[in-house]
Chains A and B, each alone.
Chain A
């Protein structure tokens, strides 16, 4: 029996560049940066003071397109949600609307039961956990809100989306650090392929830029600290002067749909998901395996799943976080995968514009990969002034490039040595 084909029929995003997929993509293509000085808490004793922040009243970017929580969530419900849930509600609402998926009361029950949600996060309600711990310390346990636990739980974005739309199929989440968003898309695809659902609303969300989150990653010496006065320069994948990643907040959500189901309702099809590969480093809790072995096997597995040749790849959206070790390992792995085909492939890291959205990164970057197919344009790697020597692959430094993109691969790797690669193909 032929495998069920899975296509993408809806997109939604809230990123440090903008609220919305089209607005984020336009800014990405124009080499804009979403990385700014952190203003919503005191960074005095933190070595890293910049982050990719969703433009809002408290973290403005000079534009008039500011993210407003009450545009997406009823005011009375805001106290029940950490910021990472609100971002997911915004991205999911956009994606569901975009797909024209609204299942109102007239929709039949079986349609609802065949629609599921799988929105992942790497960390979850960290600022709510932090604030609640402070309240307990200062005022005692009676000051803990009844909404503390439901506001913080990682599976709550999926829960809220299923409640909002009446989706009664699978209701899941995934927690695999910075691979979460990518795994959510891959596993959501598998759920449809194995006929456990026809439609899956999948993605990732994160809002870990709070004092506790930044302090935690600073303690790991993982963050950039040399560019606090020039925030847009802080995330510089593969550049000689890179000194760590830049945290980012936001969410990306996709509507995945079984091909025949999508055709039947004449849905707009963005791309087909043709490959998904995963692997484990089995090496170290935070460092990548030598030579990027796990990344290599993850990409290879996705390419095999897609039944394509390496030479068919047009664009790779790299994990590329701007850490000294991680960027080198991924580049080694990619070169090993591509071999002599490397000259015809473009690879960029959009984290140079957005920062690292942790559990949302894989989902937002999958959306950018799909947009590269839609738009036949590859987004740039900002701040890449001094690339590695003897490079035979185009890392798309500084400015976007027009290029025919039929097949794009998106990489995500996470702490715990967990890897994922997705392959998207132009739908024909």
Chain B
């Protein structure tokens, strides 16, 4: 299940940011490595909220810098 979450998070990142799958590693930084700006990050976060039935408060969102951060946040908070 947790493996599955990581894959689903990565898939959302790949689709939303239209980046190559090989770039979406756990250490990849949204802004520096994946070319996302603050609006893109907010858009990806919205998709996480919808996909995993969770809420990402603004103060938590600013701490999600890498794909790995996102996976960990989702694992801790997801309800679906």
Contacts and interface: CB of A to CB of B under 8 A. Distances in A.
Interface of A: 74-76, 79-80, 142-143, 145-147, 150
Contacts of B39: 80, 146-147, 150
Interface string B27-42: 0000000000001001
Contacts of A146: 39, 42-43, 46
A76 to B, nearest CB: 3
Contact of B43 (A74, A75, A79): A79
B17 interface: yes
Contact of B17 (A76, A80, A145, A150): A76
Dominant secondary structure at the A interface? helix
Nearest to B35: A76
Nearest to A144: B46
Contacts of B46: 142-143, 145-146
Nearest to B44: A146
7 contacts: A75-B18, A76-B17, A76-B18, A142-B46, A142-B55, A146-B39, A146-B42
A242 B25 CA distance: 62
Given A145-B43, A150-B39, 15 more contacts: A75-B18, A76-B16, A76-B17, A76-B18, A76-B19, A79-B43, A80-B39, A142-B46, A142-B55, A143-B50, A145-B46, A146-B39, A146-B42, A146-B43, A146-B46
A175 to B, nearest CB: 24
Interface residues of B, number: 11
Interface in B6-23: 16-19
Given A79-B43, A147-B39, A147-B43, A142 B49 contact: yes
A151 to B, nearest CB: 11
A145 B49 CA distance: 12
A142 B49 CA distance: 9
Nearest to B36: A76
A109 B30 CA distance: 32
Contacts, number: 22
Contacts of B17: 76
A80 B38 CA distance: 13
Contacts of A143: 46, 50
Question: Which 7 pairs, one residue from A and one from B, show the smallest C-beta to C-beta distance?
Answer: A76-B18, A146-B42, A146-B39, A75-B18, A146-B43, A76-B17, A145-B43
B38 to A, nearest CB: 8
A142 B55 CA distance: 9
A79 to B, nearest CB: 7
Nearest to B46: A145
B1 to A, nearest CB: 25
Contacts of B43: 79, 145-147
A16 to B, nearest CB: 29
Contacts of B18: 74-76
Nearest to B38: A146
A79 B17 CA distance: 10
B17 to A, nearest CB: 6
B51 to A, nearest CB: 13
Interface string B48-59: 011000010000
A147 B43 CA distance: 8
Nearest to B18: A76
A75 B19 CA distance: 10
B75 to A, nearest CB: 21
A76 B16 CA distance: 7
A70 to B, nearest CB: 10
Nearest to B45: A146
Nearest to A80: B39
A427 B16 CA distance: 48
A147 B39 CA distance: 7
Contacts of A75: 18
Contacts of B50: 143
A142 B19 CA distance: 25
B42 to A, nearest CB: 4
B30 to A, nearest CB: 13
A67 B42 CA distance: 30
Contacts of A79: 43
Tell which of A76, A80, A142 has the most Cβ of chain B within 10 Å.
A76
